[in-house]
């Protein structure tokens, strides 16, 4: 008892002194701010995911922050905890005199439309939604099917088992557009190579497939992935936001059993190689990139220069708004042949020789 009390005292003193040491730095000289001033205010409202979702909210936010650094504009942000926060958050932005408000996600479309109609002198940009046709609203959408097509081709080309899989978070167009493209990419491989790689988890014709029901349930994502692996799939593409880390975990587990044909995954939205852990990212085949950060930055920059327009922005392979990431550690598995074929296909899609069609693509 006394011994324990003493050790506790000692450790308390130690941790206190550590704290004190950390607080021993020099006081800085007082100085004023030195950021370049711009009287433009750029604002952003997230959907329920919040700005730390490692997915589209975060990427859009980073785009705005990049514009802040470059142009010295003022930035205001509001994170929505629930759908009921959308309207209050947008109203707050309007009242704070935001010049441009970026609303992230189609869920905000209704609220943004109302706010834009009531405030025709303020500008809005809607990420992942193009349902609003107003002079002061610029829709930002992505034809991710084109990029997912390339990923589907790579996946089919590097599958040993002849089975690849994909699943989504929710059955919504911004998700299924990935799955459509992936499916077409697999089909294209089969057509070109006279192969019969099978896709699990999505039936493009029936528009029906596997979904975990949200973008946060990592456990469900892991189980879903394990099921796919048990069915023989060796490349899995989760389109499930945060939940997708469940797939990375399941893939690491599967490979830990020392199997011959390595299981890999395809990340989406941003390059998973930048955010995933060391043991996870080595199994990343590639990532389907959605250039949210750059396009938000572009739109904010244009608006800050006083040249806002309401022409819809659609990210494509051609304008670099979508694409696929490098193969990183999986370069050998993909092989030089497939890699160069992918470049060809990319060019053909840009030229319109290969048509990637998805009913879920933005128009």
Partner 1 sequence: MTTPTTNSPTVNAAEDLETDGPAWIGSALQPVLAILAALVLGGLLIAATDERVMKAASYFFSRPSDTLSAGWSAASAAYQAMFYGAVFNPNGNSFARQIYPFTETLTVATPLILAGLGVAVAFRAGLFNIGAQGQILMGATLAAYVGFTWSMPLPLHLLLVVLAGAIGGGVWGGVVGLLKARTGAHEVILTIMLNYIAVNLLAYLLTRPSFLREGSTNPISPPVAESAQFPLLLGAPFRLHWGFVLAVAATVFVWWLLNRSTTGFELRAVGSNPRAAKTAGINVTKGFVIVMILAGALAGLAGVAQISGTEGSLSAGVAASFGFDAITVALLGRSTPLGTFLAGVLYGGFRAGAVTMQTMTGTNVDIVLVVQSLIVLFIALPPLFTAARGRRSRRDKSKTTRSAGAVKEAQA
Question: Which of 20-28, 138-146, 288-296, 317-325 is the region at the interface with partner 1 (rule: CB under 8 A)?
Answer: 20-28
Is 24 or 256 the residue whose CB approaches partner 1 more closely?
Answer: 24
- Does 34 bind partner 1 (CB under 8 A)? Our answer is no
DSSP state of 256: H
In the complex with partner 1, which residue's Cβ is closer, 133 or 319? 133
Determine, following the binding rule CB under 8 A, whether residue 81 of this chain makes contact with partner 1: yes
Q: In the set 55, 57, 89, 130, which binds partner 1 (CB under 8 A)?
A: 89
* Binding pattern for the stretch 201-230 against partner 1, x by CB under 8 A and - elsewhere: ------------x-----------------
Q: Indicate the residue among 48 and 53 with the shorter CB distance to partner 1.
A: 48
Q: How far apart are CA 108 and CA 45, in angstroms?
A: 9
Among 28, 33, 258, 306, which residue sits at the site for partner 1 (rule: CB under 8 A)?
28
CB 35, min distance to partner 1, A: 15
For partner 1, the closer CB: 111 or 285:
111
Alpha helix positions (H), 138-289: 144-158, 173-193, 218-230, 245-256, 272-275, 278-281
Q: Pick left, alpha or beta for residue 218 (phi over 0 → left; psi -120 to 50 → alpha; otherwise beta).
A: alpha
- Tell me how far, at minimum, the Cβ of 136 lies from partner 1, in Å: 18
Given 1, 5, 20, 256, the residue binding partner 1 (CB under 8 A): 20
Cα–Cα dist 286/271, whole Å: 8
Tell me whether residue 64 or residue 334 sits nearer to partner 1 (CB atom): 64
| Long-range residue pairs from 92-98, CB within 8 A, at least 24 positions apart, any chain | 93/43, 93/45, 94/118, 94/119, 94/122, 96/41, 96/43, 97/41, 98/41, 98/42, 98/43, 98/122
Q: Which is nearer to partner 1, 1 or 19 (CB)?
A: 19
Other CB atoms within 10 Å distance of the CB of residue 165: 29
- Supply the minimum distance, in Å, between the C-beta of residue 64 and partner 1: 13
Q: Does 106 bind partner 1 (CB under 8 A)?
A: yes
Stretch that binds partner 1, among 7-15, 103-111, 241-249, 287-295 (CB under 8 A): 103-111
Where in 169-188 is the site for partner 1 (CB under 8 A)?
A: 170-173
97 counts as binding partner 1 under rule CB under 8 A: no
Q: Which residues are within 8 A (CB) of 222 and not within 5 positions of it... i.e. 6 or more apart? A: 246, 247, 249, 250
* Residues 259 and 245 sit within 8 Å (Cβ to Cβ): no
Question: Contact, 219 vs 151, CB < 8 A?
Answer: no
- Give the 3-state secondary structure of residue 334: helix
**What part of residues 284-313 is at the interface with partner 1 (CB under 8 A)?**
none
Give the three-class secondary structure for 38: coil
CB-nearer residue toward partner 1: 5 or 27:
27
Supply the minimum distance, in Å, between the C-beta of residue 132 and partner 1: 13
Q: CB-based contacts of 269: which residues, under 8 Å, 6+ apart?
A: 55, 56, 59, 241, 287, 288, 289, 290, 292
Chain centroid offset of residue 244 CA: 11
Of 38, 66, 71, 77, which one interacts with partner 1 (CB under 8 A)?
77
Q: How far is the CB of 267 from partner 1 (least distance, A)?
A: 24
Q: How far is the CB of 248 from partner 1 (least distance, A)?
A: 25
Q: Are the C-beta atoms of 42 and 100 separated by less than 8 Å?
A: yes
- Position among 11, 15, 17, 96 found at the interface with partner 1 (CB under 8 A): 96
**Closest CB to partner 1 among residues 51, 153:** 51
Kindly give, in sequence order, each residue whose CB lies less than 8 Å from that of residue 303, ignoring residues fewer than 6 positions away: 40, 42, 99, 100, 123, 125
Q: Which residues in this chain contact partner 1 in the complex, by CB under 8 A?
A: 20, 22-28, 43, 48, 76-79, 81-85, 87-89, 92-93, 95-96, 106-107, 110, 118, 170-173, 213, 360
């Amino acid at each position: 008892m006394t011994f324990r009390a003493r050790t506790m005292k000692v450790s308390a003193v130690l941790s206190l002194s550590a704290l004190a040491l950390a607080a021993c730095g020099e006081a800085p000289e007082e100085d004023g701010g030195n950021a370049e001033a711009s009287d433009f205010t750029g604002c952003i409202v997230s959907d329920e995911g919040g700005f730390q979702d490692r997915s589209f909210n975060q990427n859009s936010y980073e785009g705005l922050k990049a514009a802040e650094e470059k142009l010295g504009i003022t930035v205001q942000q509001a994170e929505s905890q629930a759908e009921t926060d959308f309207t209050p958050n947008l109203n707050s932005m309007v009242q704070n005199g935001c010049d441009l408000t970026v609303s992230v996600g189609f869920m905000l479309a209704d609220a943004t439309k109302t706010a834009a109609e009531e405030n025709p002198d303020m500008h809005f940009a809607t990420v992942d939604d193009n349902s609003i046709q107003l002079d002061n609203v610029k829709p930002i959408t992505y034809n991710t099917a084109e990029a997912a097509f390339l990923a589907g081709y790579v996946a089919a080309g590097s599958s040993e088992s002849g089975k690849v899989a994909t699943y989504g978070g929710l059955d919504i167009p911004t998700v299924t557009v990935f799955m459509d493209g992936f499916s077409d990419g697999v089909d294209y491989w089969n057509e070109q190579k006279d192969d019969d790689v099978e896709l699990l988890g999505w039936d493009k014709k029936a528009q029906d497939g596997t979904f975990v029901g949200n973008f946060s349930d990592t456990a469900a994502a892991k189980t879903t992935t394990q099921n796919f692996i048990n069915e023989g799939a060796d490349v899995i593409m989760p389109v499930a936001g945060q939940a997708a880390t469940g797939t990375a975990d399941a893939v690491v587990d599967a490979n830990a059993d020392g199997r011959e044909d390595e299981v890999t995954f395809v990340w989406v939205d941003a390059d998973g190689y930048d955010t995933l852990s060391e043991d996870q990212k080595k199994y990343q085949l590639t990532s389907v990139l959605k250039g949210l950060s750059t396009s938000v930055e572009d739109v904010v920059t244009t608006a800050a220069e006083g040249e806002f327009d309401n022409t819809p922005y659609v990210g494509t392979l051609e304008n670099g708004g979508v694409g696929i990431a490098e193969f990183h550690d999986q370069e050998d598995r993909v092989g030089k042949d497939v890699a160069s074929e992918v470049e060809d296909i990319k060019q053909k899609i840009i030229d319109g020789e290969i048509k990637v069609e998805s009913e879920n693509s933005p128009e």
